[in-house]
A and B are shown apart, each in its own frame.
Chain A
């Protein structure tokens, strides 16, 4: 499956300046693994070395926000939009 990964402004330098990149996978976890192969610096902005999503990284799959690490097993389909956003935190 080819999905569309939408990259936040702060991370576009890690994606060659692109707002959106195409990546492959059958689940969200697969997708992030593929990001790690294609754009490893971008991937480690999203997940730490344990493979866990960083605490203030939000992931939306076709508009639905992930709520737990278990949601990484969510299936994705051709054309699915995976939208990355920073949580609103700090001050």
Chain B
């Protein structure tokens, strides 16, 4: 019998919600990693059973990465530090922001995006990681600025068939990509505006504050990006970008999710502005485009009535990848919502949690 799980990383720990394959009712389990921030959660569905990851920040005691091979019932932290900067970098890990299992043709490769801006790669299924030196030694790195949340590498995308192609997104350094497995990297921000810079410098080679990039594996040349003001699409793997924000109430926001079965269907959660990080007009409302950003529809059926002031963070929206896809998002007032009809209607899945930092979901056969 199928089991559905939703990993909910919060400011004060990890909560797992479980259901059967129907996903109509959920059992929200007690908090794990209590009082520790969980910025990154991931499901490595290439394994049977899937391996789960939690990037945990233990406050005074530093960050680490735990994994579970029993769907979150128990967790293991390797004796050797799973993610750590090597000697010679004179750098200490601040936070794990993102865990990305690579494509199926690299079954043991897992990437970790961290703060300060760096990419780590694991070739043993996520038990131990090595710094990707090509990005760390990039000549632009000394001039990469932190975003409001920190100097974070928060997004990793891997090409579904070409193992050499990797793309990362960093706040506020922009999008970079490699076509040689991470040895060399080039910025890929042409057409993306950095509205916070002086007017005559708003299209730099790099330095944009990208918040999230998403891709559907069936169309790897098509990318979507939610930026610090600006929603964009690239149809050429990041060579150039064009704005796709007509119809949105605001072009500011954090998450951007592609529907797992419909490559041109995308979701975001607009916020008013960087200085007012709350839903536009106090409406808790997801926006969906079914034509790759040419037009957008508001989706709020089943969501709380106005006023609603909570934001949705960059990794706090996701899908579960099932044939009848579930779409999920969590908010900074500790509520998690789910939809089984592509966002037309929403149901509350969990409430009264600490603020939600990250959400990932899967349906396991």
Contact = CB atoms under 8 A, between A and B. Distances in A.
B80 interface: yes
B144 interface: no
A57 B92 contact: no
Contacts of B84: 44, 49
Contacts of A45: 58, 61-62
A16 to B, nearest CB: 13
B81 interface: yes
A50 B62 contact: no
Interface in A1-54: 10-11, 40-41, 44-46, 48-50, 52, 54
Contact of B59 (A40, A41, A49, A90): A90
B60 A49 contact: no
Contacts of B86: 49
B200 interface: no
DSSP class of B's interface residues: helix, strand, loop or mixed?
A: loop
B77 interface: yes
A87 B60 contact: yes
A44 B60 contact: no
Interface in B70-97: 77, 79-81, 84-87, 90-93
B169 to A, nearest CB: 25
A77 interface: no
A57 B61 contact: yes
Contact of B81 (A49, A56, A57): A49
A64 interface: no
Given A48-B92, A49-B93, A56 B77 contact: no
Contact of B85 (A44, A49, A52): A49
Nearest to A10: B61
A40 B61 contact: no
A42 B140 CA distance: 36
Contacts of A40: 79-81
A89 B61 CA distance: 12
B107 to A, nearest CB: 27
B125 to A, nearest CB: 19
Given A40-B79, A41-B79, A49-B84, A86 B93 contact: no
Contacts of B64: 41, 44
A50 B61 contact: no
Interface in B13-43: none
Nearest to B94: A48
A48 B62 contact: yes
B163 to A, nearest CB: 28
Contact of B77 (A11, A41, A48): A41
B66 to A, nearest CB: 10
A46 B77 CA distance: 16
Contacts of B59: 56, 86, 90
A10 B58 CA distance: 10
Contacts of B79: 40-41
A44 B79 CA distance: 10
A46 B61 CA distance: 6
A34 B358 CA distance: 36
Contacts of A56: 59-60
Given A48-B92, A49-B93, A57 B60 contact: yes
Contacts of B90: 50
B33 to A, nearest CB: 11
Contact of B92 (A41, A52, A87, A90): A52
Contacts of B61: 10-11, 45-46, 54, 57, 86
Contacts of B87: 49
Interface of A: 10-11, 40-41, 44-46, 48-50, 52, 54, 56-57, 86-87, 89-90
17 contacts: A10-B60, A11-B61, A40-B79, A40-B80, A44-B62, A44-B64, A45-B58, A48-B93, A49-B84, A49-B85, A49-B86, A49-B87, A52-B92, A54-B60, A56-B60, A86-B60, A89-B60
Interface of B: 58-62, 64, 77, 79-81, 84-87, 90-93
A-B residue pairs, 6 tightest by C-beta: A48-B92, A45-B61, A56-B60, A49-B84, A86-B60, A40-B79
